[in-house]
Amino acid sequence: MKLIDNFKKMNQYSIEYQEDIQEHICTSQQAFSACLCLFFIMHAVVLHILDFAASKELYTALAISSSQLLITFIWYLLFRYYFPVHKKHTLAAAHMNIFLVVILFELQYFLYNEYISYNIIICTVLCTSLTVIGHMVRYITILAAALGVDTAITVFKNYEVLNSIEMKMYIIDNLFVLTIAAGINCSISWLKYRDFEKKKQIIYLSQRDCLTGLLNRNALENYVKKYAGNDGICSMILLDLDNFKKLNDSLGHYEGDSCLCRTADELTGLFDSSFYVSRLGGDEFVIFMPYVRDVGYVMDRVRLLLEKIPEKYTSGTDEISVTCSVGVAFLKMEQDDLYEKLYKAADTAMYKSKAKGKNTVTVFENEFSSKILPKSLLR
């Protein structure tokens, strides 16, 4: 039962860490193919030329080694330049490469038994277990097919001793190699998944505000910059809590922190996953939305925000009302300095809201926003 649960977890991790898995596969397949290229060159020079120099089989042997070298070099180039960019079929390509490598060795083994050691094939098979992670069933299936071809070739070449103890031990050896390779692959996968999990936690913590759990300033800036230069409209909503300093001075930082956390909860509840919600520091929050298709939807969220944020606190005989002043900016994403322009525009609009008497929203007015927004929203 536990084994089944572990397989389910591995399948889940294979989906969750898809990008990390593809990066590992591309890197390891490059190294694997590069080592094979070196081996085939050495094999052609050291074995073929020396052993076949005086025989008629020299050119045939060199042709096989050259074909192996060429195919392996092509796979190296693919994993070096193509698959890091076009990631969709990386895993399938890796499995195909593993299968072809073993089959190519089998071709030599079939034609020149005395010049290709079974140990070389086994070492190659075990090395393949390090080049892919996750999707264990697929790896075992590919490896079983390759070793099945090896067994079939051996049976074909030694049919007269099919029932001998040596042949039975050979088949058992192949099953043993398959089991060991699967075990190594499983172990490496678990180790890599643990590394991915730690990496994910480190990245998460580096991008989050420690109090509210929202994105921090650096993370938001990096996300905005990723969209710079794209087509479409984006929006930034900047809000500042009114009377927050008075709350902190009167009731202390514990109550102030609670207010910030409640504000963060309201923001994450109002703005879905298409928005990036961030706390820049102090009582300043930012919401960024790329690819705005409905300006009215954004403004509806802002109006709901003004209704939900007000909090009333009692300090002795005084009542402290914490509201928010909001500035909204709409810009095209095609500019390179998108974050700086967006933030400056939203900040300007937010301070206009402060000047109007707080607890209100102002949309930054420029030539672009005047075209996409009704005049009633620009007052």
Give the model confidence (pLDDT) of 148-191 as tens digits: 887 887 777 777 666 778 777 878 888 898 999 999 998 898 89
- Provide the pLDDT confidence category of residue 50 given band limits of 50, 70 and 90: low
What is the distance between the alpha carbons of residues 148 and 154, in angstroms, rounded to a whole number?
10
Looking at residue 121, what is its pLDDT?
81
Assess whether pLDDT exceeds 70 at residue 370: no
Higher confidence at residue 318 or residue 379?
318
Q: List, for residues 291-328, the tens digit of each pLDDT value.
A: 988 888 888 899 999 988 888 888 766 788 899 999 99
Spatial distance between the Cα atoms of 245 and 100, rounded to a whole number of angstroms: 69
Q: Looking at residue 316, what DSSP letter applies?
A: T
State the Cα–Cα distance between residues 84 and 65, nearest whole angstrom. Answer: 28
Q: Kindly state the percentage of the chain with pLDDT values over 90.
A: 39
DSSP for 237-302 reads EEEEEETHHHHHHHH-HHHHHHHHHHHHHHHHHHS-TTSEEEEEETTEEEEEESS---HHHHHHHH
Task: Please tell me the least confidently modeled range out of 115-119, 215-219, 333-337.
Answer: 115-119
Summary mean pLDDT of the chain: 84
Of 154-168, 253-267, 275-289, 363-377, where does mean pLDDT reach its minimum? 363-377
Report the pLDDT value the prediction gives residue 132, as an integer from 0 to 100: 92
Q: What percent of the chain has pLDDT over 70?
A: 85
pLDDT value at position 35? 93
Write down the pLDDT at residue 378: 46
Whether the per-residue pLDDT at 55 is higher than 70: the answer is no
- The CA–CA distances, whole Å, from 282 to 123, 209, 239 equal 59, 11, 11
Q: Is 340 a residue whose pLDDT tops 70?
A: yes
CA distance 12 to 338: 36
Active site residues: 283
Q: Which of the pair, 49 or 71, is modelled with greater confidence?
A: 71
The residue to which tokens 């298409």 are assigned: 274
Nearest by Cα to 131 from 181, 72, 88: 181
Verdict on whether the full-model pTM lies above 0.85: no
Question: Higher-confidence residue: 165 or 77?
Answer: 77
pLDDT of 7 > 60? The answer is no
Q: 3-class SS at 90?
A: helix
Average pLDDT over residues 28-36: 94
User: How far is the C-alpha of 174 from the C-alpha of 151, rounded, in Å?
Assistant: 8
Q: In one letter, which amino acid is 357?
A: G
Residue 51 predicted with pLDDT over 70: no
